[in-house]
Structure 1
């Protein structure tokens, strides 16, 4: 009862006194489809860190598209599908030819074909309305031009109680209710951003609306003459290729075979996500145009497992404080960070240098396992790096080289180039030494997260056949010079993807995708004398997917997918998994949309698990991992009754045919089905 009263109080607190109309973005459906396809490639097996930030980045870019008639090179490079070469071509066209009058004119720019145009279209605009001089800082219209004030309230809950809610907190159970709350107050204009975010995870305690487990805020000024960005409060940093500093999500290897390896640093970004660990708190600023100087400082508390009063493990990234033990570790480790960046833009490209130093107020002790032998230990560490993006004729060259305080080196370099008018190619080589300790980086590689202990070479090809067919393929070969998680010796592997997309008509599209990964792994076996041995064998996971999308009319879209997974763990037999689903989208009115899906899955075990990305509440990452045998259904309603109010509601149910216990540990549920609900409101001024 108390939790229900708290929820009612929260909703009542969030209802604004006045609202102003806001037009629905006509590209919303296209962006949603882009998100669906891209996030299906997101590696949820490595954790969901950054996934919400990735969704939010694209959704906010959709809501605040880049003006191609005014944006500089760095702003244009934030758009998915636009690299330095394409950005320079856009600027050359509008300067030497004429300003863009329609988005369709982008296809007249050198290097922008059908595939690239379709990718960038939702995130750009030709500009309209009030264009004020940057000298008019005293004019209120300058700070409020294209301003949007948004208030979010979100509620989610699993309807079946897990074991953690049955056991009392003093015996290891959860301290709070199974309800998950999120609320956000944000204002953004062309030059000003303010935000306040609060969140309580399921199982965490919330005694009153002002005491959420996670609270985040910022005040930021952007694009004010030479002051490119200044952020006070919470912010993220993403520079170069991510070897030194990178916050937020990135798309890894997937159907975007050309842009996967080349990361385009977003610089300083005000932080609005509910992800609780992937940000900095303090102040950061970037000044300049072609020559830019960035400085940043952060001091915040982290949560870490305690080994002794003065020694802890490296802080985790889940942000959970549900049990007494987790709550007791909340904010028990202080972290201070400072550093900077220099960036130069030349006629032939962009080069930059980034460095930081971070200090913890307790000693960090690495795990005793073999895979952690070269992990960071101590109280202080630092990393410096040099990155480059260069244009040499038709070839784009990118890369970064970095060094950590202990002397470990990491590097990645590659090229992107057109091979004729219909084919694009990308090649990248990476080498992160086993001693490289970039604790705040996130470089391209087989293993997501901190770049370390990996060497590999990647080749991606994309070819268009007329206006209807696009072929994608990549091959990536890699090795780990030292033990990785779960192994005690060096290992190697490779993976590849092939995909064919066909647009039969504007209403009918389908694609077929085959993907496979093979890597060495260890398993235990008993020899003829009864002795336990650790042996090395190949693991392999392959999947074949066929996907068909059909717009019956302007209001109804059908999508059918079938997927087959074949998996073989080291020392085990081959196992198979199957997924089949039917998806239906109904645009009942201009302000009412329904997404629903029925899925059937059948796998031999967890090893042959299948994944499906689902539409969900705005900014929510929903990728279901399904195994054993059963069915899943979800229904998502998106309704905008007024220009100032938009709502989402979702219910999902998974029914299993062959088990009476779902999950394990504190998340264990008794029964053969689980279900969840979610409700979200957005008020728009």
Structure 2
């Protein structure tokens, strides 16, 4: 591996307070995203990423008003739970409205650590509110309104095999450009949006016919009519065992908040992720007692087994080859259901159910891991969930049942342990027969909750205002076979993290993480015959991260990470990642992010990950393995108050290979680079 010298630019550039405040909040959001997604494998992270990125970015762009928000809205803020949300409401009702955000530290249960986490997503409001203007008054619908239009262009610069082969020979139908555009208007009570996207390799049939198109018209916060969505929307209720789409927080840096979810309810859909949403109508009405109903009919894509039989619909959204294009939208799904939720003085209890139909028979693989997967044309799932205050503790949970009799359960509590320590404990038991095809439960395996039992314990302890120690232990087992195994397996995972704020400008954290999981491998017996054996595989990592605010316009971040991995029956392998990150606020309206990374791993098993700054709402996580370097430059320029521009160039150069990727994604050479350009108009 080549040795390189990292050069940091220490420049003195005039400081403008409004720009710095915006950057500070953006940095906090990026850190939340990195912590939320770092526990996932790349495929799982990408499936969660876009909607989660949009949720956090839009929440920071439209922060929750702590002087007017209700319990549901406050619980959407990362870092707030039922107890602290109620404490905020009690404070403003019994004492006074918040005059500055800093007053939140006076609320019971909100210390400096919690305040720093929630600060990007809250506001105290300003000016007169239009809460009692008649619905017929245009000012009601345009209060705090903003129109946004996005246009994005991305592509890899080196041609992959799919673009060199002819479509008749199995190559891609379209060019290498990934194009995205979105137009929308949003105010306090109204949301209108159109999103269109063409993935790289797909064809653009016409300027108005993209491979993916999503739209909605939604009303929000209109008295008893809490939400009405027409068009595309997402649903997230309870703890996610019955219905959850829109991205999730997995196991990671938020050790005491990850297990307990706060259902977001109905959310208008704006993402370009092509499978994780519904199309039709949904509404929530009521006050303390709320009733939600929803109906959806949409087309999905699935692999075909025969003229009337398919596999379960895919989530990739790719229609790049002639074969993929032919089966585009080849299955129709209808879904309807509802939710009843009651808010009590001590918490919330809700019940959710749905039934869905497919117009073609769905079958599953014949492999042992798919023995209990959904087969048929219809399924229904029903569940009951709760989040309650019991003294100083919050207890939460959900129990659900699928039509075939399979059961799923998650239950837990969050509680302070002394003045400076918080604890979270959660138990999950998803039977191997449980078929919640629209759910996403907390656990070791992301996606639909099934075939898993486990106990999770998370602890966070503050030492003064500058040191935070946190960690978790998760013990789990899989009662039935999972992918790559033919029998029951088990494992455990732990994480330890120490965050230290040395000064106002220096922050350091150290993180240790390890996962041990049983897996199968092949080994010869005394007669030379191959037999299957069960053994432990282990992946562990140690990371050191230093962040230094040189001045109010220059931020440096340095990270080093060592990864070790031992597959069952194999020898130990290692990998390292080192990077230097620089952020320069060149002017009030011009910012540059750049990073130089070196990585050296023995194989894909010791791959390393890094979360990158990227175009707005773009998932920027890189999976790096073998030996090489990566560099990127990201420019963010706001020439006018109504126009914002982004441009990114990234390049990865490998030292040990002349072919990158495989199949249709194969690139000849040792270099892979990409560009991205994005513009946003807002007024």
TM-score w.r.t. length of structure 2: 0.96
When structure 1 is superposed on structure 2, of 440-449 and 35-44 the one drifting more is: 35-44
Using the TM superposition, give the Cα deviation of residue 39 of structure 1 relative to its aligned residue in structure 2, in angstroms. 3.4
Equivalent in 126, 129, 139 of residue 127 of structure 2: 129
Aligned to 2:242: 244
Using the TM superposition, give the Cα deviation of residue 49 of structure 1 relative to its aligned residue in structure 2, in angstroms. 1.1
Is 1:499–2:500 an aligned residue pair? no
2:46 counterpart SS class: coil
2:47 counterpart SS class: coil
User: Is residue 152–residue 179 contact of structure 2 (8 Å, CA) maintained in 1?
Assistant: yes
Q: Judging changes above 3 Å, is the alpha-carbon distance between structure 1 residues 289 and 395 closer, same or farther for their aligned structure 2 residues?
A: same
User: Is residue 579–residue 600 contact of structure 1 (8 Å, CA) maintained in 2?
Assistant: yes
State how far apart, in whole Å, the 2-side matches of 1:351 and 1:657 are. Answer: 57
State how far apart, in whole Å, the 1-side matches of 2:621 and 2:22 are. Answer: 25
Using the TM superposition, give the Cα deviation of residue 171 of structure 1 relative to its aligned residue in structure 2, in angstroms. 1.1
User: Is residue 364–residue 379 contact of structure 1 (8 Å, CA) maintained in 2?
Assistant: yes
User: Is residue 639–residue 646 contact of structure 1 (8 Å, CA) maintained in 2?
Assistant: yes
Aligned to 1:205: 203
State how far apart, in whole Å, the 2-side matches of 1:425 and 1:569 are. Answer: 32
State how far apart, in whole Å, the 1-side matches of 2:349 and 2:294 are. Answer: 19
Equivalent in 295, 319, 322 of residue 320 of structure 2: 322
User: Is residue 37–residue 45 contact of structure 2 (8 Å, CA) maintained in 1?
Assistant: no
Aligned to 2:232: 234
Using the TM superposition, give the Cα deviation of residue 48 of structure 1 relative to its aligned residue in structure 2, in angstroms. 1.4
Aligned to 2:116: 118
Using the TM superposition, give the Cα deviation of residue 189 of structure 1 relative to its aligned residue in structure 2, in angstroms. 0.2
Q: How does 1:478-489 map to 2 (within 5 A)?
A: 478-489=476-487
Aligned to 1:181: 179
Is 1:463–2:441 an aligned residue pair? no
Q: How does 1:429-440 map to 2 (within 5 A)?
A: 429-440=427-438
Aligned-pair Cα RMSD in Å? 1.2
Using the TM superposition, give the Cα deviation of residue 45 of structure 1 relative to its aligned residue in structure 2, in angstroms. 4.4
Residues 634-685 of structure 1: CA deviation (Å, up to 9, x unaligned): 0000010100000100000000001000000000000001000000000001
Using the TM superposition, give the Cα deviation of residue 42 of structure 1 relative to its aligned residue in structure 2, in angstroms. 4.1
State how far apart, in whole Å, the 1-side matches of 2:277 and 2:239 are. Answer: 18
Aligned to 2:611: 613
Residues 107-158 of structure 1: CA deviation (Å, up to 9, x unaligned): 0000001111011111011111231134511111110000010000000000
Aligned to 1:17: none
Using the TM superposition, give the Cα deviation of residue 24 of structure 1 relative to its aligned residue in structure 2, in angstroms. 8.6
Using the TM superposition, give the Cα deviation of residue 25 of structure 1 relative to its aligned residue in structure 2, in angstroms. 4.4
Aligned to 1:391: 389
Equivalent in 144, 150, 154 of residue 146 of structure 1: 144
Aligned to 1:559: 557
Q: How does 1:171-570 map to 2 (within 5 A)?
A: 171-570=169-568
Q: How does 1:584-599 map to 2 (within 5 A)?
A: 584-599=582-597
State how far apart, in whole Å, the 2-side matches of 1:557 and 1:35 are. Answer: 19
User: Is residue 37–residue 250 contact of structure 2 (8 Å, CA) maintained in 1?
Assistant: no
User: Is residue 43–residue 252 contact of structure 1 (8 Å, CA) maintained in 2?
Assistant: no
1:54 counterpart SS class: helix
State how far apart, in whole Å, the 2-side matches of 1:218 and 1:24 are. Answer: 32
Q: Judging changes above 3 Å, is the alpha-carbon distance between structure 1 residues 546 and 24 closer, same or farther for their aligned structure 2 residues?
A: closer
State how far apart, in whole Å, the 2-side matches of 1:460 and 1:422 are. Answer: 14
Using the TM superposition, give the Cα deviation of residue 530 of structure 1 relative to its aligned residue in structure 2, in angstroms. 2.0
Aligned to 1:70: 68
User: Is residue 35–residue 254 contact of structure 2 (8 Å, CA) maintained in 1?
Assistant: no
State how far apart, in whole Å, the 1-side matches of 2:505 and 2:34 are. Answer: 18
State how far apart, in whole Å, the 1-side matches of 2:456 and 2:256 are. Answer: 10
User: Is residue 539–residue 565 contact of structure 2 (8 Å, CA) maintained in 1?
Assistant: yes
Gaps of 5+ in 1: 1-21
State how far apart, in whole Å, the 1-side matches of 2:20 and 2:670 are. Answer: 44
State how far apart, in whole Å, the 2-side matches of 1:304 and 1:207 are. Answer: 21
User: Is residue 130–residue 145 contact of structure 1 (8 Å, CA) maintained in 2?
Assistant: no
Using the TM superposition, give the Cα deviation of residue 31 of structure 1 relative to its aligned residue in structure 2, in angstroms. 2.5
Gaps of 5+ in 2: 1-18
State how far apart, in whole Å, the 2-side matches of 1:443 and 1:52 are. Answer: 18
State how far apart, in whole Å, the 1-side matches of 2:466 and 2:66 are. Answer: 27
User: Is residue 247–residue 279 contact of structure 1 (8 Å, CA) maintained in 2?
Assistant: yes
TM-score w.r.t. length of structure 1: 0.96
When structure 1 is superposed on structure 2, of 38-47 and 120-129 the one drifting more is: 38-47
User: Is residue 369–residue 485 contact of structure 2 (8 Å, CA) maintained in 1?
Assistant: yes
1:307 counterpart SS class: coil
Aligned to 2:38: 40
Aligned to 1:166: 164
Residues 306-351 of structure 1: CA deviation (Å, up to 9, x unaligned): 0011100000100000001111110000000000000000011100
Using the TM superposition, give the Cα deviation of residue 33 of structure 1 relative to its aligned residue in structure 2, in angstroms. 3.6
State how far apart, in whole Å, the 2-side matches of 1:649 and 1:23 are. Answer: 20
1:49 counterpart SS class: helix
Aligned to 1:19: none
User: Is residue 113–residue 465 contact of structure 2 (8 Å, CA) maintained in 1?
Assistant: no
Aligned to 2:89: 91
1:540 counterpart SS class: strand
How many residue pairs end up in the alignment? 664
Q: Judging changes above 3 Å, is the alpha-carbon distance between structure 1 residues 338 and 330 closer, same or farther for their aligned structure 2 residues?
A: same
Aligned to 1:156: 154
State how far apart, in whole Å, the 2-side matches of 1:133 and 1:409 are. Answer: 44
Using the TM superposition, give the Cα deviation of residue 590 of structure 1 relative to its aligned residue in structure 2, in angstroms. 1.4
State how far apart, in whole Å, the 2-side matches of 1:133 and 1:471 are. Answer: 43
State how far apart, in whole Å, the 2-side matches of 1:496 and 1:312 are. Answer: 39
1:651 counterpart SS class: strand
Using the TM superposition, give the Cα deviation of residue 251 of structure 1 relative to its aligned residue in structure 2, in angstroms. 1.2
1:306 counterpart SS class: coil
Aligned to 2:8: none
Using the TM superposition, give the Cα deviation of residue 34 of structure 1 relative to its aligned residue in structure 2, in angstroms. 3.2
State how far apart, in whole Å, the 2-side matches of 1:381 and 1:351 are. Answer: 24
Q: Judging changes above 3 Å, is the alpha-carbon distance between structure 1 residues 43 and 100 closer, same or farther for their aligned structure 2 residues?
A: farther
Using the TM superposition, give the Cα deviation of residue 186 of structure 1 relative to its aligned residue in structure 2, in angstroms. 0.7
User: Is residue 389–residue 396 contact of structure 1 (8 Å, CA) maintained in 2?
Assistant: yes
